[in-house]
Structure formats: C-alpha cells, structure tokens
Amino acid sequence: MTAVSGIEKVNGSTRAMYFQLDDSWRSARGKGVSVAVIDSGIDIGHPDLAGKVVDSVEARVDNKKVVFDPSDAGDSAGHGTACAGIISKIAPDSELHSIKVLGAGGLGDGMAFLAGLEWAIKQKYRVINLSLGTTKPQFFAPLHDLLDRAYQAGCIVVAAANNLPQPSFPSVFSSSLISVIKSEEKDPLNFGFHYGEVIELTAPGVNIRTAWPGGDYRSLTGNSFACPHIVGVIALLLEKHPDLTPFHVKSALHSIAMENQNRNGEIVR
C-alpha cells in the first residue's frame, strides 16, 4: 500500500490531495489503456506487437498544413518499434496507437512533431510516449501550449530527456509532463524520482533488449528507451485506477519511487 499526497492547483487555488494506492497495479497488464507512440512508426507485424497496435497514422504536408492519413508503412527507422516493444513488455494488454512523424534515420520536421502531439491530444489518448524532442527555441511556446491542452484533456505526456548535454523541449517542462532520463536499473518497477531537478524520473535505459523491425531484436541505450518504461508503468496504474488525473499519476510515481529509493537505501529527498 502506497500513501500518495500532494498539493494540486485547481482554477487558481490550491488544495491538498491524499489517497491510498494498493499494490494491485503491480500485477496489472495495462488492459483498456490507450497509449500513443509519437515516433517513426511501429512494425505491426513484429511477434511482440502483433495485434496490439489499434491504428497507425502518418504525417503528410498538404498545402503547408500537416494532415494525418491511415498508414501501413510500418517503421522507417526502428525507433518507434523499439519504444512500442518496451511498453508492450511491461503492459502487454495496453492499446497502442502509432503516430508517425519521423522518417528514415529518425529525422523529422518540427511542425509534424507538433501536429502529432496535437493529434494525440484530440484523440484523448490516456498516455503519450514522446521519445523525441527539439532544441529549436521557436517550438518552446507552441509545445508549452499543447502540454496545457493535454493536461486539461486528461492526457498524461511522458517525454525523454535529450541524450546530449543540451536542454530539449518538451522534456524540460517538468511541471506539465513527466520527464525521464536513463539509469542502469533493470527492473522497470524500480524507477527513481529526483524532486527539484529538471528531469525528475529515472528508469531503465542501458542495454535494453527490445523489438526491432523485421521480427528482430536489439539491445539499445538512451533516454528514448527509459521513457517507454515509465509509460508502461503508467498503463498498469491506469488499468487499476482509471480515474487518476495527470497530477495524481505524477504524485503516485513520486510516492512509489520514494519507496523504491528508501528500500534500496538511497538518499530520499
């Protein structure tokens, strides 16, 4: 049993929040939880992912506007399949939705990235995996606005930190999303939380064996692969507690991580 507490801001005022979280989520499978993977697409034919991807769309520029079409193009870079494989391993009954905004080599346009996030928010997917970001300052304000919209829609956005020593958006917006950086931990449920730091959550992200297009597997390292570990954990929480708000989820992750760190003998802040 985990005691979850915090101070929530609602309509300009603050209120104390407290609830008990039982351990039933640890044996959940993410059933009924919609998860959007905004990335390079997903190989829906991979044995680990067959039948788990509910739909796939792909960004296309039409008269200077980004539109999304149903797509069976799969994964052009492997990155999205790898992230989806991690989520599926932790929450095998979650419903995956592929939003393809990256092309070959994992490269993409910033406007397609913004449009992909907006698409996911409009669909009200419960959890959004963003194992990508941008360092371009012109996207700071529109991303911040989209994250506010996601919060109001009840969408829980999880973003990976930049692998380079340079801040990237939206992972630095730690007040309006859940940001993640890699650790050498192997157990996905033994994640950490460092309150007060820009990137608050730590999760497994070193030599992670996961799905790769063509029915293959690879061992990968990076913050990109820490992010879907937390997304998978959130899917477990939401199966058992579907009414949790984004604020409740972040508070629950903080409380669980504090228990993890206390159990591991780490300094708890």
HSE, side-chain direction, 13 A CA sphere, residue 29:
5
224 is catalytic: yes
Catalytic residue, candidates 76, 131, 224, 255: 224
Element (H, E) at 128: strand 127-130
Nearest to 180 by CA among 253, 97, 241: 253
79 is catalytic: yes
CA separation for the pair 75, 108 (Å, rounded): 13
Question: In sequence order, what are the residues at sequence separation of 6 or more whose Cβ sits closer than 8 angstroms to the Cβ of residue 243?
Answer: none
Catalytic residue, candidates 39, 43, 48, 75: 39
Catalytic residue, candidates 34, 48, 75, 79: 79
* R_g (Cα) of the chain, nearest Å: 17
Nearest to 255 by CA among 247, 240, 239: 247
Q: Which residues are catalytic?
A: 39, 79, 224
